[in-house]
Amino acid sequence: MTALRRLFFFVVGLFLALPLIVVAGVSINARQTLAFPPQGFSLSWYGQIFTNPEWRNALIASLTLAASSALLALLIALPLAWFLWRRIAPWANIFQLLGVAPFTLPPVITALGLLTFWATTGFYGQPWTAVISHGIFFVTLPLVTLSLGFSAIDRSLVEAAATMGADDRVIFRTVVLPLILPYLVSGYAFAFVLSLNEYIVAYMTVGFTMETLPIKIFNALRYGYTPTMAAVTVLFLVIAAVIFGLVARFGDLPKLLGAMSDER
Amino acid sequence: MRREPPQRLADYGPLFFPAGMLIVFFVVPFATMIAVSVFQREQGGFYTPAFVFDNYARFLSLFFGKVLGFSLFLAIAVAAACVVIGIPFTYLLSRSPRKIQIVWLVALLSILSLSEVMIGFAWSTLFSRTAGITNLFVWLGLMTQAQALTPSFGAVMTAMTYQAFPYTVLVLYPALVRLDPTLTEAARTLGASPVKAFFTVVVPALRNTILATLIMVFIFALGSYLLPQLLGRPQHWTLSVLITDQAIYQSNMPFAAAMAVFLVLVSLALVGLALYAGQQRQAK
């Protein structure tokens, strides 16, 4: 049984790894050809991401968009999650539902809704519209992690603080915030990584005025192949693995993903 | 501090910003899209306010029927493939040591977050003639000559399964971790083989979870828009691709919006079904 299990894990792992291995391989080709196993060895394609102005601008655009839209998502999710936890207001759950909706529906729907909206209001193509669009699109992630974080808080702690005369503001700063900090950080991390990789919403809102890295790769694919695309793919995979690895290292990843490991 | 209903206006304070943002930038755009779906299209990509159902009437064409049929078929096939592999995989993963679970979860999350553009690019490389997997087959003596495997239905299907598989595992994971391990232990004590215990105890206990997961993955697959474009032929285009194509390249916003509204209705009906299946599970 153990051998069978190992074999099954190995086959699934191979299926998941194979395209990434090939991409990593072609990213170190010495010449600009699509060949595997790689012919020669060169890291120059990775250098291209930072030295070639087109790729560097796309990288900066992507990082800026991801950092600011994840922050916006957090700023929307935090007060909402706090309110839902602090007050008895069943009707306010509608906002929780609205926060989860863009993530549950096929992304092209949110993308098209925002495209018609920005076109109607006359802001179509402005870089900041992408920040708002991504902020709304990814609000689900901090909202879900924060709801989980709030539900894990022992209410008697907060009660004790209130008995000692602390008001909501003080309680939030001194008791609640330290307790939900890991959920705050992981919510931001999830939104950041997903925004970095997002294509359709960014493309439909600012695709013609700003190039994020996914948009840049898609546009470059039409004109042929360059190993820089492979290098960017590997870079993004490493960024995601490092960030999720850190979340797992400093937080409880199985619990964040709904396993509730502390209950057993 | 007891949890109490908000009494003063100030109690609603924390709600103002989130509610405002969600209404202005999600509800209003959504409503705008619905409005545009009944607008009249003008020449040159513009549209004027109207109240016509022409855009919806276009659904009745054979072409649209084919695209819709193919989209649904592809999403069902992907969801079925993912769930069939995902259930035993997630079950075994949930019974693995915690450290192994975490490594797999990090890997699955990383692949799940990988841009669809990059997944498409990675598979087109793996299926290419010069750098692809067929070179390995040639080397092993299974094939005489390397060849390109794209564009083809198989390529679209494989890449979409690849994209949806991590999602499937993460949807199944909470339910399988919480599954009472004594259930299978009892079956084993009574003499069932591990495989038999899995099919006679685990699978029936998870029937509603499996149904809910199938629907969630189905909706996820329905949203795939780049892989059919990058790896398939035009007849492999899905509704999502068609919506993007109409909105951006054909500049027919009203028709794109009408299709999107239709896609919302299909998705919402299915989400409702998934939630219902989930509730049945809890009621048991």
Whose tokens are 């029936």? That residue is B204
Region B240-269 average pLDDT = 88
Residue type (1 letter), B14: P
Contacts of residue B246, Cβ cutoff 8 Å, sequence gap at least 6: B252, B253, B255, B256, B259
Q: Are A108 and B260 in contact (CB under 8 A)?
A: yes
| Nearest-angstrom CA–CA distance, B133 and B147 | 9
| Nearest-angstrom CA–CA distance, B113 and B119 | 10
Region B247-266 average pLDDT = 88
Q: Are A99 and A139 in contact (CB under 8 A)?
A: yes
Q: Are B190 and B201 in contact (CB under 8 A)?
A: no
Say which residue, B44 or B154, is predicted with more confidence: B154
| Nearest-angstrom CA–CA distance, A13 and A29 | 25
> Residue B12 pLDDT more than 60?
yes
Region B6-33 average pLDDT = 89
Looking at the complex, does the CB of residue A242 fall below 8 Å from at least one CB of chain B?
no
Buried b (16+ CB within 10 A) or exposed e, A188-220: bbbbbbbbbbbbbbbbbbbbeebbbbbbbbbeb
Residue type (1 letter), A151: S
Whose tokens are 């008697």? That residue is A156
Is there a contact between B223 and A108 if contact means CB atoms under 8 Å apart?
Answer: yes
Count of residues making up chain A: 264
Looking at the complex, does the CB of residue A258 fall below 8 Å from at least one CB of chain B?
yes
| Nearest-angstrom CA–CA distance, A126 and B171 | 36
Is there a contact between B102 and A193 if contact means CB atoms under 8 Å apart?
Answer: no
CB atoms within 10 A of CB B177: 22
Contacts of residue B173, Cβ cutoff 8 Å, sequence gap at least 6: A254, A257, A258, A259, B90, B93, B94, B105
Contacts of residue A246, Cβ cutoff 8 Å, sequence gap at least 6: A189
Token couple for B145? 């000559």
Ordered by where they begin, the domains of chain A are 56-217+242-263 (1.10.3720.10)
Q: Are B36 and A113 in contact (CB under 8 A)?
A: no
Q: Which phi-psi region, left, alpha or beta, contains residue B44 (left: φ > 0; alpha: ψ -120 to 50)?
A: left
Looking at the complex, does the CB of residue B230 fall below 8 Å from at least one CB of chain A?
yes
Looking at the complex, does the CB of residue A103 fall below 8 Å from at least one CB of chain B?
no
Residue B177: which H helix or E strand, with range?
helix B153-178
The reported pLDDT for the residue numbered A260 is 52
How far away is chain B from the Cα of A25, in angstroms, using its nearest Cα? 9
- Using CB atoms, pick whichever of A18, A135, A248 lies closest to residue B106: A248
Ordered by where they begin, the domains of chain B are 62-283 (1.10.3720.10)
Give me the residues paired with residue B48 across strands: B40
In the structure, what pLDDT confidence band is assigned to residue B166 with cuts at 50, 70 and 90?
A: very high
| Nearest-angstrom CA–CA distance, B181 and B99 | 19
Count of residues making up chain B: 284
| Nearest-angstrom CA–CA distance, B85 and B79 | 10
Q: Are A109 and B263 in contact (CB under 8 A)?
A: yes
**Positive or negative torsion for Cα B52, B54, B56, B60:** positive
Looking at the complex, does the CB of residue A136 fall below 8 Å from at least one CB of chain B?
yes
Q: Are B216 and B277 in contact (CB under 8 A)?
A: no
The reported pLDDT for the residue numbered A31 is 77
**Positive or negative torsion for Cα B64, B70, B73, B74:** negative
Which residue from A35, A200, A31 is spatially nearest to B223, judged by alpha carbons?
A200
**What is the ipTM metric for this complex?**
0.87
DSSP annotation of B5: -
- Using CB atoms, pick whichever of A111, A139, A221 lies closest to residue B121: A221
pLDDT digits (tens, 9 = 90+) for B37-76: 888 877 666 777 777 777 787 777 888 888 888 998 999 9
Token couple for B222? 């329905």
| Nearest-angstrom CA–CA distance, A64 and A84 | 30
Q: Are B97 and B113 in contact (CB under 8 A)?
A: no
Region B226-244 average pLDDT = 89
Is there a contact between B98 and A254 if contact means CB atoms under 8 Å apart?
Answer: yes
Q: Are B115 and A198 in contact (CB under 8 A)?
A: yes
Q: What is the mean pLDDT of chain B?
A: 85
In the structure, what pLDDT confidence band is assigned to residue B157 with cuts at 50, 70 and 90?
A: very high
Looking at the complex, does the CB of residue A217 fall below 8 Å from at least one CB of chain B?
yes
Q: Are A206 and A183 in contact (CB under 8 A)?
A: no
Which residue from B120, B130, B151 is spatially nearest to A33, judged by alpha carbons?
B130
| Nearest-angstrom CA–CA distance, B100 and A71 | 32
Q: Are B169 and B108 in contact (CB under 8 A)?
A: yes
- Using CB atoms, pick whichever of B123, B131, B263 lies closest to residue A109: B263
Burial status of residue A185 (CB atoms within 10 A of its CB: 0-12, 13-18, 19 or more)? middle
> Residue B220 pLDDT more than 80?
yes
Give me the residues paired with residue B40 across strands: B48
Chain B interface disruption, residue of A32, A71, A116, most B CBs within 10 A:
A116
The reported pLDDT for the residue numbered A221 is 85
Give me the residues paired with residue B4 across strands: A87
The reported pLDDT for the residue numbered A246 is 92
Residue type (1 letter), B172: L
> Residue B1 pLDDT more than 60?
no
Series of mean pLDDT values for 10-residue runs along chain A (264 residues)? 85 93 86 75 86 92 95 95 88 89 88 91 90 94 90 85 85 88 90 92 89 90 84 93 91 77 39
The reported pLDDT for the residue numbered A259 is 60
Minimum Cα–Cα distance from A204: chain B residue: B248
The reported pLDDT for the residue numbered A15 is 93
CB contact residues (below 8 A), chain A span 157-216, against chain B: 158-159, 161-162, 171, 193-194, 196-200, 203-204, 207, 213-215
List % helix, strand, coil for chain B (3-state, nearest 5): 75, 0, 20
